[in-house]
C-alpha cells in the first residue's frame, strides 16, 4: 500500500466511525453525497460529504472526506520550496463541524489532512496538518478542561512540547482580530508538519483524529439545561459576546493551565 493509500484508508475509516457515533447520539441518519472530479481536469479526485440537519442533538453537522490530485503544486505551496516547483501532488483529509441544537452544548471543529508532493526522481515529500477546537456559547469549565486534557494526552507520545506548541498555534490561528478575542476555548492546531518523517507525522495525525470522539462526545452527551421555548437556538448579540468573552478568559486560563500541568505519578 502506498503512503497516500494508507492515509486514505485511515481517513475514510475515521469518517465512518465519527458519523456512525454521532448518528447514534443524534438519532437521525446523516445524508451521504459521494462526488468525483472528472479525469483530465486541473484537479482530479473524489470525496464523500456526510451531513445532518434538524436532528435530535445537532441542528446541523457535517463530516467530509476529500482526496484530490493535481499535475503541479500551486505557487503558494512552492513559494519556500523551489525544488518542488512543478511536482505532482495529492491532498486528502477529513474535516467536520458540529452545531448542536441546544446552546448549552458547544460547537466543535476538527480536521486532519495530508499534502504529498512527488518530485521527479526523488522520494515523496509529505506534510501533515490538523487539530480541533471547541466553541461554547455558555461556558462550562469542566468541558474546557476535559477537551484540552484529551488533546494533551493524545499528543503526549510525540513529545512534551507538542501540546503547548499546538495549543498556542490554535490560540493565535483562530483569534478573532475584529473582536479582539479568541474563538471559544481553543484546542490544538498544527500545519505543514514533517518532523520525524512520514511515519511520525501519520501517527500523530491519527492520534489527533482518534482523540476527537473521546474529546467531544462526553461533552455532547452530558445532561444540559434545555433551551427555553423562546430561546431554542444559539445566543446572538450581547449574549453571544458575553459567553464568548467568558470562553476567552476564565475558562481558557484555568482549564488550559490544568491540562498543561504535569500529571501526578
Q: How far apart are CA 207 and CA 171, in angstroms?
A: 20
- Whether the CB-CB separation of 170 and 259 falls below 8 Å is answered with no
Q: Which of 88, 113, 110, 136 is nearest to 240 (CA)?
A: 136
109 is catalytic: yes
Cell 457515533 belongs to 21
Ramachandran bin of 26, using left for φ above 0, alpha for ψ from -120 to 50, beta for the remaining angles: alpha
16, burial (CB in 10 Å: exposed 0-12, middle 13-18, buried 19+)? middle
Strand partners, 175: 182
Catalytic residue among 67, 104, 109, 146: 109
Q: Active-site residue numbers?
A: 109
Amino acid at each position: 500500500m502506498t503512503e497516500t493509500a494508507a492515509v486514505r484508508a485511515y481517513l475514510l475509516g475515521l469518517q465512518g466511525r465519527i458519523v456512525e457515533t454521532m448518528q447514534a447520539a443524534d438519532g437521525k441518519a446523516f445524508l451521504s453525497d459521494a462526488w468525483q472530479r472528472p479525469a483530465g481536469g486541473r484537479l482530479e479526485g473524489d470525496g464523500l460529504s456526510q451531513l445532518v440537519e434538524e436532528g435530535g442533538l445537532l441542528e446541523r453537522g457535517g463530516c467530509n472526506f476529500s482526496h484530490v490530485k493535481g499535475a503541479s503544486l500551486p505557487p503558494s505551496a512552492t513559494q519556500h520550496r523551489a525544488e518542488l516547483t512543478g511536482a505532482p501532488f495529492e491532498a486528502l483529509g477529513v474535516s467536520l463541524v458540529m452545531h448542536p441544537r441546544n446552546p448549552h452544548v458547544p460547537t466543535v471543529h476538527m480536521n486532519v489532512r495530508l499534502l504529498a508532493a512527488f518530485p521527479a526522481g526523488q522520494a515523496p515529500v509529505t506534510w501533515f496538518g490538523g487539530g480541533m477546537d471547541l466553541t461554547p456559547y455558555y461556558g462550562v469549565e469542566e468541558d474546557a478542561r476535559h477537551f484540552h486534557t484529551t488533546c494533551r494526552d493524545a499528543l503526549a507520545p510525540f513529545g512534551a512540547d507538542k501540546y503547548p506548541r499546538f495549543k498556542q498555534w490554535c490560540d493565535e490561528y483562530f483569534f478573532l482580530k475584529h473582536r479582539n478575542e479568541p474563538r471559544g476555548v481553543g484546542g490544538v492546531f498544527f500545519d505543514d508538519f514533517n518532523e520525524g518523517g512520514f511515519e511520525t507525522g501519520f501517527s500523530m495525525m491519527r492520534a489527533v483524529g482518534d482523540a476527537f470522539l473521546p474529546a467531544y462526545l462526553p461533552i455532547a452527551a452530558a445532561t444540559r439545561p434545555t433551551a427555553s421555548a423562546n430561546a431554542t437556538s444559539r445566543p446572538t448579540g450581547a449574549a453571544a459576546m458575553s459567553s464568548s468573552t467568558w470562553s476567552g478568559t476564565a475558562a481558557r486560563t484555568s482549564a488550559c493551565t490544568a491540562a498543561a500541568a504535569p500529571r501526578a505519578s
